[in-house]
Amino acid sequence: MLLRWPNQRLRIQLILIVPYAIKTKSVQGLIRRSGAIEDSPTDGYAPTFVTCPANFTVRQPSGKTFVGEKESAYVNEKASRSNPAWRSYLTRAQLDDFDIESFLPSNPIPGETLPNIGLAISGGGIRALLGCAGVLNAFDDRNEQANLAGTGGVLQLSNYITGLSGGSWLIGSWATSDFPTFTSLNESIWNLTEKNSYASWNSIKRYPKAIKQAELKHKAGFPSSLADVQAYILSHHLINDTHHGTKVLFSSIRNTTGYKNYTAPFPILLSTSRHQGKSTIDLNTTIYEFSPEEFGVNHPSLNAYIPIDYLGSHLNSGKPISNDSCALGFDNAGWVISASSNVLSQPGVSGSFSWQTIETEAYNTMTRNIYDEAIVPNPFYKLQEENSTFMYEDQNQKDLYLADGGWGGEVVPFWPLLQPDRKLDAIIAIDYVADGPSMYHGACE
């Protein structure tokens, strides 16, 4: 068995969306969708080491805009094509005394000549997966009832979408499936039935295969943990792939038709640093971003990014430790989703009685000496922001230990959208969190 291993303007509006979704007029029939794109360089779950590209190094903005060139190019190109979508949306809105053509710029620039909108998708487990999908369905101009209600099109106008925990399930599944309608996503991919729950025999019998995938990753020379097992189980439900997501990368999103045609918001998933199992996680804890282009940290102590293709590489002070220390294929889509929704790594519970306490104690007893964080070599080892009064807490950690993106207390992922360099004008928060005295934010009450 495995797993015993060791300065731009900031104009922000916050719009909280209550749990409400518009049902489609007619239910689509079950559709066999094309599978997610398989880009694994090893034709499997395990990554591999490769020769590093010439002059490969960590990107540190050093006072300049931290937004990467590829992210900026995507958002700007999407905005440049958005006038027809804005025209359709505003026409349906039927605003009084509003000249649509005067509003639309000849040179659309997000955050300057056109409103820049971001969507923040909360945690909340399956509740968030389904509830937030319902709200996004109500924002989708492919939903005729949403268009009749005047809400359809907001999704197409949004340039960013962020998610964590249960929200990462939704965004990861949607993006790797080429941004389909949410009704078809639910009907043809998710397979959310009682007989397929985590505790069902159908799920339990998958665990040996999940463990084998994690073992192969370990044998390839990479850290592995229970989060890799969870990645396989999540992929079975969320990734539209006959190989249960073992060959699908998060960077594979770049090769989808929707991404190539700039029709979807730029997706970002968040994970929280557990700092090698420390007991406390708070709002000051380092947050890491996953996008189809980069993996990075945006924190007062450090702004640093690497191409997500090379996640898993061994670096020191921003440079590879050797010519063959770079990795490819570490960014498995299921693993990224698992890292963002990793509630296995729980940062502590109260002393009062709750089922959560009992479950945590039982879990800790059964998994003693087994890492439950999502572990990845730290590409920012020995880095620190110059002249910063904050210390990058993972500076001396050769590996990052990543936990649920909401464990730091921010269960709606505002942080990436609040950065001035992204120039957001409005954030629409879809909040399906239901915290209670005995339930974490990924559970249902």
- Domain CATH for 223: 3.40.1090.10
Separation CA 366–CA 371 (nearest Å): 12
The per-residue pLDDT for 34 is 61
Domain count, the chain: 1
Q: What are the tens digits of pLDDT across the range 6-37?
A: 333 333 444 444 444 434 333 333 344 567 99
Reply yes or no on whether the pLDDT at 334 is more than 90. Answer: yes
Residue 204 in any domain: the answer is: yes
Residue 255: what are its φ and ψ, rounded to 5°?
-95, 5
Position 160 in a domain: yes
Are the beta carbons of 58 and 308 closer than 8 angstroms?
no
409 occurs within a structural domain: yes
- 375-416 tens-digit pLDDT: 999 999 999 877 777 889 899 999 999 999 998 888 999 999
Does 368 have pLDDT greater than 80?
A: no
CB of 41 closer than 8 Å to CB of 192: no
pLDDT tens, position by position, 124-144: 998 999 999 999 999 999 999
Q: What is the dihedral of CA 173, 175, 178, 180, to 10 degrees?
A: 70
Q: Is residue 276 part of a domain?
A: yes
Among residues 363, 309, 313, the alpha carbon closest in space to that of 336 is found at: 309
Over the stretch 195-242, which tens digit does the pLDDT of each residue have?
766 666 677 788 888 999 999 999 999 999 999 999 999 998 899 888
Domain annotation covers residue 4: no
233/257 Cα distance (integer angstroms): 26
**Whether pLDDT at 365 is above 60:** no
Q: What CA–CA distance (Å, rounded) separates 23 from 145?
A: 7
The pLDDT value recorded for residue 355 is 39
| 84: confidence class by pLDDT, cuts 50, 70, 90 | very high
* CB within 8 Å of 368: residues ≥ 6 apart: none
Domain limits for position 135? 14-24+47-430
In a domain, 290, yes or no: yes
- 436 in a domain, yes or no? no
CB 74 within 8 A of CB 266: yes
Q: What is the pLDDT of residues 242-297, one digit of tens each?
A: 888 999 999 999 999 999 999 999 999 999 998 765 657 777 889 999 999 999 99
Q: 15: helix, coil or strand?
A: strand
Structure confidence at residue 245 (pLDDT): 92
Task: Report the C-alpha gap between 169 and 173 in whole angstroms.
Answer: 6
* DSSP codes joined into one string, 344-406: TS-----SS--HHHHHHHHHHHHTTT---SEEEE-TTTT---TT-SS--TTTT-SEEEEE-TT
Angle between helices 125-138 and 166-176 (to 10 degrees): 50
